[in-house]
Chains A and B, each alone.
Chain A
Amino acid sequence: MTTTPAQRAAPGPRPRRARLPWQRVPIWALMLLACFLSVVPFYLMFVWASHPSAEVFTFPPHLWFGDAFLSNFQGLMQVTDGQAPRQFWNSLYIALVSTLTTLFFCSLAGYAFAMYDFRGKGALFGFILGTMLIPPLVMDIPSFLVMNNFLGWVGEPRALWVPGMANAFGIFLMRQYISSALPRELIEAARMDGATEFGIYRQVVLPLIRPILATLGVVTFVGAWNNFKGALIMKLSEPDTMTLPLSLRRLGGGATNVNVDWGAIMMLVVITVIPLLIVFLLASRQVISGLTSGAVKD
């Protein structure tokens, strides 16, 4: 059985050492600096997105918000030929479908590995864990070839979400959580009541594993939303398939180019980052504790 660190860290009373306030000043200074460095690029992208393009680079640099949000959005619509909302939707579609399918298939498999005894279970689970050792990079070329030469999915969004629907990390995370959080008696009781096996999963298990579904859901959403290389390789570059990261690359690639509409680019940067911030901030504690619990094995 596995315990999550959160469970292990019994919040017992800690011995309070009397500390002089000034001794804590360096600690606070250090923490504020670390937080500042973490946050400042986010802050700057919002500041830049609110100034006219010509003023993104000015001396001294702008450190406070301007009033060009709207005109930068119009600029963005111009440089993307009105496609920015469509690109947002394409990214959202891929991220949502990835998330839903991943949650379904991984929780189903994780439940099976946690709550059933079946022949070959150990070997099958070991195999799944073993596939985690394959570096994703090694899969780039062969998966392109499968999509290109066998399935003809290149240029289609499903090339991005289908292969990862049931992935080793998700199954592992689900199994760890389900085997430590759900008692087997519960499953037995439902079985006695005449529930079907899938019915038990749907009506008993799913509602009880919401916390870990939230964790895996956020991680999957963020991963799919940010998937740049996959979209690049699978050529989601037509107007009706282009995702936000590809659009960003097209507009903002070539770092040294100053003669582009920087206000519009920063607006696109902000649009790309806002959903991530929202999704993460809504569930950050849950995500962090869920993610790190997967790291501690017994």
Chain B
Amino acid sequence: MSQRTAPRASWSYTRFQQRFAPYLFVSPFFILFAVFGLFPLLFSLFLAFHLWSPLDGMGNWKFVGFENFTLALGPTDMFWKSLKNTLWIGLLSGIPQHLVALPLAFIIHHSLRRFQGTLSTVLFLPYITNAVAIAIVFATLYSERLGILNYLGGLVGLDPVRWLGDPNMVPYSVAAVVFWRYVGWNTVLYLSGLQAISEDVYEAATVDGANGWQKFWYITLPLLRPMMFYAFTLTIVGSMQLFEEPFMLLNDGGGSGGAGLTSAMHIFNTAFRDLDMGYASAMSWLLFLAIFAMSMLNNYLFSRDGGKK
């Protein structure tokens, strides 16, 4: 310290606080993460190999090795079924979301640009709304005897559908709510991606005589790739954790036959209803691995044939 050649001023309060201010400014995140992030994560990893309920008290955990994991992946538990439900509902809601959002954004960007702000706001509304409140509204629409959907179906001569009662219908009914909530969000994401594409490319294509479809296929899609990757990732990560919509529409059991029981709901029930924290922790790590694997798959699909960028 004494080798410093700088004048004493370098030890002034001004210098001192300049040097340490940034560390102080970023420290809240790291303190909070240590307490509410890192420690809990390690604790949950520890619990995944133990049998424990919060009622047992600290220290009274019983080591069970991989038993929690093998039980979850075995035939006796609902975890596999819940994972299949989650994936199926995710596909039913996720794929249409993007199939609709992309053309919608394309049309708004190219043909209705003057109304872009208004349309974005309107389409974005479902995204910010309360899932519990909106699930109640949809449950009313879905009501078997008294809901508007079956009323409208009846007008055109359709038999009443048991939207939330028929295990085969349940995934579609839940997926429709999820689709409704997120299609606008994806449209807005794609819109902002489209804004980042230079007009020159389209003008050049117009000069070369490309039609709208060709422009969409050969210009928009390739240049929108990074945004599509981002939007797909959000959809995957979000739908794998689906909880509130099925929980509200179908109650915590996932409706008749458990057709709407998602993995997040199953983990929630195991942890907070059955108080089997070790087992629930193990399943949450398995779900984490599933999310990770699907994200990797998404990553792979996007980098493979677009590798040259």
Look across to chain B and name the residue whose beta carbon is closest to the beta carbon of A48. B140
Main secondary structure of the interface of B (DSSP, over half): helix
| Complex contact B164–A226 (CB within 8 A) | no
CA distance A70 to B180 in the complex (A): 30
Q: How many residues of A contact B (CB 8 A)?
A: 102
| Interface segment out of the listed B64-72, B90-98, B282-290, B300-308 | B282-290
Look across to chain A and name the residue whose beta carbon is closest to the beta carbon of B263. A137
| Complex contact B26–A141 (CB within 8 A) | no
Q: What mask results when residues 102 to 142 of chain B are scored 1 for a CB within 8 Å of chain A, else 0? A: 00100110011101010111111110111111101111111
Question: Given the interface contacts A34-B104, A108-B25, A256-B164, does A145 sit within 8 Å of B54 by beta carbon?
Answer: yes
Chain B, interface residues (CB within 8 Å), range: 35 or more
The answer to whether the Cβ of B221 comes within 8 Å of any Cβ in the partner chain is no
Q: Taking the nearest CB of chain B, how far is it from the CB of A266, in angstroms?
A: 8
Q: Which residues from chain A contact B220 at a C-beta distance below 8 Å?
A: none
Q: What mask results when residues 18 to 58 of chain B are scored 1 for a CB within 8 Å of chain A, else 0? A: 11011101101110110111011101100100000010001
Q: What mask results when residues 268 to 288 of chain A are scored 1 for a CB within 8 Å of chain B, else 0? A: 010011001100110011001
Question: Which of A27, A105, A113 is close to B28, meaning CB atoms less than 8 Å apart?
Answer: A105
Q: Which A residues, 114 to 145, have Cβ-Cβ distances below 8 Å to chain B? A: 116, 118, 121, 124, 128, 131, 134-145
| Complex contact B126–A255 (CB within 8 A) | no
| Complex contact B21–A116 (CB within 8 A) | yes
Q: Which residues from chain B contact A8 at a C-beta distance below 8 Å?
A: 195-196
Interface residue ranges, A against B (CB under 8 Å) = 5-6, 8-9, 12, 14-15, 24, 27, 30-31, 34-35, 37-39, 41-42, 44-45, 48, 56-57, 59-61, 105, 108-109, 111-113, 116, 118, 121, 124, 128, 131, 134-146, 148-149, 162-163, 165-168, 171, 191, 196-198, 201, 222, 225-226, 228-229, 232-233, 244-245, 248-249, 252-256, 258, 262, 265-266, 269, 272-273, 276-277, 280-281, 284-285, 288-289, 291-293, 295-297
